Amino acid sequence: MDLQGRHILLALGGGIACYKAAELCRLLVKEGASVQVVMTEGAQAFITPLTMQALSGRPVVTSLWDTAQPNAMAHINLSREADAILIAPASADTLARLAQGRADDLLSLLCLARQRDRVPLLIAPAMNREMWLHPATQRNLAQVAADGAVLLGVGNGPQACGETGDGRMLEPADLRDDLVAQLQPKRLVGQSVLVTAGPTFEPIDPVRGLTNRSSGKMGFAIARAAAEAGADVTLVAGPVHLPTPRGVRRIDVQSAQQMHDAVLAGLPQRGVFIACAAVADWRPAQVAGQKIKKAEGAAPPSLSFVENPDILAAVAALAQSQSGALYCVGFAAESQDLLANAQAKRVRKAVPLLAANIGPDTFGRDDNALLLVDEHGTLSLPQGRKIDLARQLVAEIARRITREHA
């Protein structure tokens, strides 16, 4: 659970998006967080404190003058206990109060009282599209960001008023992921990271092709972990059906040649390249223009193959020419002799770090185990969720980059 042991203060401003806050609270608790809900007077007009108490398992605080607080200082107690404060929804009025430094209600006062170097303040705005675009709101957003808050943006779509446009509160799952990301160590701030993920598809004819069992889940987890660590992340993905991680740019490709071209076109001058995709080594030499039909009694068609470009080797060669400005990480999905094959591949590809696993044990699953191999030896990352392994891998990459640049 990504929020195990974390105490989150979830504050609700007034607005119809309060109905999403109920699901958000449930998701945060499911991730292991303890959630303390604070509601403004406006929020209570849209959803009851009883609902939020039932979901959080804690009494909801609604007043600055809460007599349940032994020292009558709810704003101090609540802000000191929190690991993060998330305002969702943050109405136009809430943003104005924060921008002006108001202190006449519990929500604005506890935000003033928070320890800014320890407790991040995340804001999920929600309002009508015209209110969102109004210069006053945009000024307030800029001021709140300048004061150290993290603005999570808004969604676009139909609104409760019947209009359509920007201003919708982000969905609960997105806000949960943004909160989790905010609390991760920022080990790759300032780094550009390019990740490949998933299989490739090599066509035989218009309806058939050659591919493999890679689901892309490990590569997508790595892209998410790198973004959580503060990196600027681009993900080049083969044909998979996975949602794009928050804050990640995605380029979809099909074949190995397309992936090769996308990688070389988007490769950062400095940063990290992580080749997690399961790229086909060969492709059919010729692709039939029409579906190859089965004929009664005829011999099956024969296929000849040509070798695909070696993406990792090409990038590793570029990295060497750049005197180490680009750090390359390879992946190896093996079926046997994991250590020997991984060590041989690392040397053959000329990369400083290679992560290996037993492919049949992890394809399509949410868990994995990795063996990291470099010139100094090996490090085993035991079986666990792919996102947890991805975060460990990112930490190892960051440590190695720091060591090399020290």
Q: Which residues are part of the catalytic machinery? A: 161
C-alpha 102/C-alpha 300 separation (Å) is 78
Q: Which of 321, 356, 362 is nearest to 340 (CA)?
A: 356
Beta-carbon count within 10 A of 103 CB: 15
Q: Where are the beta strands (DSSP E) in 291-406?
A: 305-307, 326-334, 353-358, 367-374, 377-385
Here the tokens at position 374 are 């470099």
Q: How many residues does the chain have?
A: 406
The three-state secondary structure class of 74 is: helix
Write the Ramachandran bin of 295: left for phi over 0, alpha for psi from -120 to 50, otherwise beta: beta
How many angstroms from the chain centroid is the CA of residue 152?
13
Beta strand 121-125 pairing with 155-158: unpaired
Q: Which residues pair with 199 in a beta bridge?
A: 278
C-alpha 359/C-alpha 255 separation (Å) is 20
* DSSP per residue, 151-218: E---EEEE-TTS-EEEEEPPPHHHHHHHHHHHTS--TTTT-EEEEEESB--EESSSS-EE--S--SHH
Which helix (H) or strand (E) segment holds residue 273: the answer is strand 271-275
CA atoms 218, 220, 223, 229: torsion sign:
negative
C-alpha 290/C-alpha 77 separation (Å) is 71
Q: Which of 148, 143, 159, 151 is nearest to 20 (CA)?
A: 159
